[in-house]
Amino acid sequence: MNVVFVSPHFPHTYWNFCDRLRKNGATVLGIGDAPYSEIEENLKKSLTEYYRVDNLEDYDKMFRAIAFLSFKYGKIDWLESNNEYWLESDARLRTDFNISTGVQCGQIDFIKEKHLMKLKYRENNIPTARQHEVSTLEAARAFISEVGYPVIVKPDVGVGATNTYKLEDDAALEGFYRKLPSQPYVMEEFIEGDICSYDAILDSRCEPLFESMTVWPPSIMDIVNKQLDLSYYTAAEMPPQLRELGRRTVKAFAVKSRFVHLEFFRLKKERKNLGGVGDFVALEVNMRPAGGYTPDMMNYAHSTDVYQVWADMVCADKIIHPVKDEHHYCAYASRRDCYTYIHSHGDIMEKYGDSIVMQEEMPEMNWPQMGRWMYTAKAKTLEDTLEFIRYVQAK
């Protein structure tokens, strides 16, 4: 089996996907923009061949890379990056090279454009916040007259909370329109609640081989825009309602043979036409793994190996390697240079050293979202999880 993995060196933990594919007997062919001398040894050992291009956004060069690898190794059976940024390019390459085991060009819009996601939710009776495609100020005022302030504005196509804003009143609305971005934006009613993700690895029948829930802070947008500390956790178990909604959503989007990250609000207040306190409301779909070290947190929380489960799905469309049935919480807590914290690094390691499973300085490009210094620990209960986060981030 010939598998092309695009940009296998970023995030740097993605070498694990390639490693598990190799262990399953696949021929793993990497295409990236980093010099071969700069990629990690673990990745080098996982690849049959690495083809470097100067710019992964240059489609002609990507096409030539696939053509070369196809000529040398035969037909490509699978192509994937597991990275939001390259989803469209991945789909185009699959279509051009008749690689049928993934999303094609004609299917990409509904998983990239937020206004089209809303159509899928509504068609399948999945509760979701009301949305308006940003056009004129008058149209925005009409939408706000229905949903009220505050509203959220964000790019129709975008990753995370970049260039996302909360508009509290008419002054903020008018200010947004004075500097209206050239790219398409959407406006949504504000939902008060935690963000809970349904993370899953799906087989070719849209059935989950693995499922997990991670609980995120209510506003990633504020964390980015106001440079707040980030904390979140992977839960030991998943509420039945989220499991049911997650499975319905992947069927609605006809998602198959993918690692997905679907985001839902868990309501803190009753919301007319959406649900009561504790109910789940769809936010958006992401057809790739959760960002950062979240896949590793899933491993620690569920005593499993999601990289192996994904590779088993690719190579056999089922789990080949059995997984344990042990469940914990796994928490991520970050710190920034701009704050003074009560507890030193030494204090944290002395108190939680036996529970900490990862600790390092994050890559600089991740500091705005993820913080500079991160601590990740396993815990038995939710109370222990929250106490760990409080201790690390106490100021």
Can you give the pLDDT at residue 161? 62
Q: Say which residue, 68 or 223, is predicted with more confidence.
A: 68
Does residue 272 sit in helix, strand or coil?
A: coil
pLDDT exceeds 90 at position 102: yes
Can you give the pLDDT at residue 124? 94
Mean pLDDT of 215-230: 82
Does residue 286 sit in helix, strand or coil?
A: strand
Among 25-39, 109-123, 209-223, 264-278, which range has the highest average pLDDT?
25-39
Indicate the residue type of 149.
Answer: Y
Q: What is the pLDDT of residues 185-199, one digit of tens each?
A: 999 999 989 999 999
Can you give the pLDDT at residue 163? 83
Separation of first and last alpha carbons in the chain: 53
Q: What is the pLDDT of residues 239-294, one digit of tens each?
A: 999 999 999 999 999 999 999 999 999 999 998 889 999 999 999 999 999 988 99
pTM: 0.92
The first and second tokens of residue 213, run together, are: 């829930």
The mean predicted confidence, pLDDT, of the chain is 94
Can you give the pLDDT at residue 42? 97
pLDDT exceeds 90 at position 395: yes
pLDDT exceeds 80 at position 153: yes
Dihedrals phi, psi of 217, to nearest 5 degrees: -65, 155
**Which residues are 257's β-sheet partners?**
none
Dihedrals phi, psi of 308, to nearest 5 degrees: -70, -40
Can you give the pLDDT at residue 160? 59
pLDDT exceeds 80 at position 224: no
Can you give the pLDDT at residue 134? 96
Q: Any residues with CB less than 8 A from the CB of 389 and at least 6 apart, and which?
A: 231, 233, 331, 333
Q: What is the pLDDT of residues 295-332, one digit of tens each?
A: 999 999 999 999 999 999 999 999 999 888 789 999 99
Q: Report the C-alpha gap between 113 and 244 in whole angstroms.
A: 24
Mark out the alpha helices in the chain (DSSP H runs).
Answer: 15-23, 41-46, 59-73, 87-96, 109-112, 114-123, 137-147, 170-178, 220-226, 240-252, 294-302, 306-316, 345-352, 367-370, 382-393
Pick the range with the lowest mean pLDDT from 16-25, 126-135, 322-331, 355-364. Answer: 322-331
Can you give the pLDDT at residue 385? 98
Mean pLDDT of 21-29: 98
% of the chain with per-residue pLDDT over 70: 98
pLDDT exceeds 90 at position 175: yes
Pairing between β-strand 49-52 and β-strand 27-32 as defined by DSSP bridges: parallel
Confidence class for position 159, pLDDT limits 50, 70, 90:
low
Confidence class for position 37, pLDDT limits 50, 70, 90:
very high
The first and second tokens of residue 227, run together, are: 């440079």
Indicate the residue type of 66.
Answer: I
Q: What is the pLDDT of residues 45-87, one digit of tens each?
A: 999 999 999 999 999 999 999 999 999 999 999 999 999 999 9
